[in-house]
Chains A and B, each alone.
Chain A
Amino acid sequence: METLIELKDVNVLSGDFPILMNISVKIPAAQSTIIMGPSGCGKSTLLKILAGISIPDSGKVFIEGKDYYSLSEKETLLFKKKNGFVFQDSALWANKNVFENLSLPLRFHYPELSQGQIEQKVKKALKFINLIDSIYLRPAQLSIGERKMVSFVRAIIAEPSIVFMDEPILSIDNEMKGKLLGMVKKLRENNCTIIGVIHDSIITSMIADNLIILKSGIILAQGPFHEILNSKNDEIKNILDEVVKKPSSYDTDILDLMNE
């Protein structure tokens, strides 16, 4: 099992308050790793450090064995080109319309694409999520759920091999949820590495290969999904029950659920 990202003794502080403490994790390539834990335990911060968006106060981050902060600009760009990030609050660029939001990653990483090719790609993606009529609207003119879908599409439009997701299905309706689950499933079929903060039992059972359980900035457990799920540790069991609420649906195949 090849390690894609590794954190060693990572610490993050907010002022004097510790957000993450001595975090050491290994994220395997071409697998799905789900981070779980109660609100405010540092999940999003951990995800952003893994994606190279945030810089820890101390500790090391390795991407494919290389120190992330020693990578050349070209190597960093190559890593960024391979990944997409779905933000919890969408984080769409407010001064750009939907088309510009989706086309910027393509224009930036693939300057060889013509305007026509970019338009075709963006329109195809927007048709799939039923937002083609909103193509020239600004994010403020969309509902929260629509913004979330556009944010998801922005993360995957350049066909990345690593996708980071911070609560991707929060605030979206069931129809959109179905479409999003379909897209996530397709990512997995294409051997995409998924690293996500997800509290939904359906999507977790559908894609999770590994789990990381976080509490108050400390890793309680990390390892294969079923191993953690069957943990006898009461604290872990409590977190899984409290955070996800639906432990019974973990082993249910998503396709069965969607066909019901």
Chain B
Amino acid sequence: MIARIGRWFNLKVKNATYALGFFNNVIKETVLFVKQKQVGLKVLIMQIYFTGVEALSMISLIALALGVVIIIQGLSLLPSFGQGKLIYDILIIIITRELGPLLTAFIIIARSGTAIATEIGNMVVDHEIEAYTAVGINPISYLVVPRFLGVTISLVLLTFYFNFFGLFTSFLISQLITSVAFTEYFQNLLQALQLSDIISSLLKSFVFGVIISIVSAYNGFKVRFATTEIPQVVIKAVGQSFVLCIIADAIIATIFYILK
């Protein structure tokens, strides 16, 4: 029993050390990638296209739906307590500070996180990673860094877009229920919006981008021999990304609460 616990603990320590080494390698290669003009530049552009541009329609739909829910629930409840103006604070808290970054991250986990883990897993099985190594191309530098940068940059931009689109469409939806002037609506929103909300939103999206890209790539590289391992690592990548993003969200929210 004790021996089994010892083996389990050893394995966990080994995996954690390997994961930290992987993270360290990605950061080191990212610095070099930015410094030098790399052949991986095209991969970076493609990653921003797949993660950022192709996710726009889905992000728009979800931001719109969230705006609809907040406006309908808020405007049907708050005025009865004489707290109609609170709707602006609620919009900022839910869309900008909390759900904007988190929902965008969830969409990116489902779309790009799974794609990265699957693609890299397949490359391992088909010996494509070995082929890069044989040529002298560092797979971390050529495959992981562009995905890391692409996902992180896209996530920050998509969160910004989610916030803007969610707040703007919530105005359009509010026009169906009540008649608030455009300028009054946005003046109230800007009054409710603090600089810390914007910083918190962008910081969260940046951290989520780092988590999703590295966790997905790391799990992709954990495939060893067979394609049957790929769905297993994809499930792990999705689960770990969800959990780590929510933990990071809670930590950042707590830090901002303490600093306030």
Q: Chain A residues in contact with chain B, CB under 8 A?
A: 48, 51-54, 76-77, 79-81, 83-85, 87, 89, 91-95, 104-105, 107-109, 155, 164
In the complex, are the beta carbons of A108 and B131 less than 8 A apart? no
Chain B residues 113 to 169 lying within 8 A of chain A, measured CB to CB, are 119, 122-123, 126-128, 130-137
Say whether B247 faces chain A, with CB atoms less than 8 Å apart. Answer: no
Are A53 and B130 interface neighbours, CB within 8 A?
yes
User: Does B77 belong to the interface (CB within 8 Å)?
Assistant: no
Give the docked Cα–Cα distance between A155 and B135 (Å).
Answer: 8
CB distance from B33 to the nearest CB of A (A): 14
Residues of A within 8 Å of B127, CB to CB, are 87, 89, 91
Please give me the residue from chain B that is nearest to A78 by CB atom.
B136
Cβ of B39 under 8 Å from chain A? yes
| Cβ contacts under 8 Å, A95 to chain B | 119
Q: Which residues of chain B are near A155, meaning CB under 8 Å?
A: 134
Contact-residue size bin, chain B (C-beta under 8 Å from the other chain): 10 to 19
> Given that A87-B127, A89-B126, A93-B128 are contacting pairs, would A108 and B134 also be in contact in the complex, using a CB cutoff of 8 Å?
no
- What is the distance, in angstroms, from A32's C-beta to the closest C-beta of chain B? 19
Do B130 and A48 touch across chains, with their CB atoms under 8 A apart? yes
Distance (Å) between the CB of A76 and the closest chain B CB?
7
List residues of B whose CB falls within 8 A of some A CB.
Answer: 39, 119, 122-123, 126-128, 130-137
The 7 closest A-B pairs by CB, nearest first: A80-B136, A85-B134, A91-B127, A91-B131, A105-B135, A53-B133, A53-B130
A-B contact pairs, 6 of them (CB 8 A): A83-B134, A87-B131, A87-B134, A91-B130, A94-B126, A94-B128
Q: What's the least CB distance linking A46 to chain B, in Å?
A: 14
Which residue of chain A has the shortest Cβ distance to B225 in the bound complex?
A14
With a cutoff of 8 Å between Cβ atoms, the chain B residues found around residue A80 in the complex are 134-136
- Interface SS majority for chain A: mixed
Instruction: List the A residue with the shortest CB-CB distance to B133.
Output: A53
Inter-chain CA distance A91–B134, complex, in Å, is: 11
**Whose C-beta in chain B lies nearest to the C-beta of A86?**
B134
How distant is the Cα of A95 from the Cα of B119 in the complex, in angstroms? 9
Contact B126 A53 (CB under 8 A): no
CB distance from B47 to the nearest CB of A (A): 12
Nearest-neighbour CB distance to chain A for B83, whole angstroms, equals: 54
Chain B residue nearest in CB terms to A52: B133
Contacts of A84 in B (CB 8 A): 134
A77 touches B134 (CB 8 A): no
- A104 near B134 (CB under 8 angstroms)? no
CB distance from B136 to the nearest CB of A (A): 3
Distance in angstroms from A155 CB to nearest chain B CB is 8
Query: Does B126 contact A91, Cβ atoms closer than 8 Å?
Result: yes
Q: How far apart are A142's CB and chain B's nearest CB, in angstroms?
A: 14
* Complex partner residue of B39 from A81, A108, A164, CB under 8 angstroms: A108
With a cutoff of 8 Å between Cβ atoms, the chain B residues found around residue A93 in the complex are 123, 128, 131-132
Query: What's the Cα separation between A92 and B130 when bound, in Å?
Result: 10
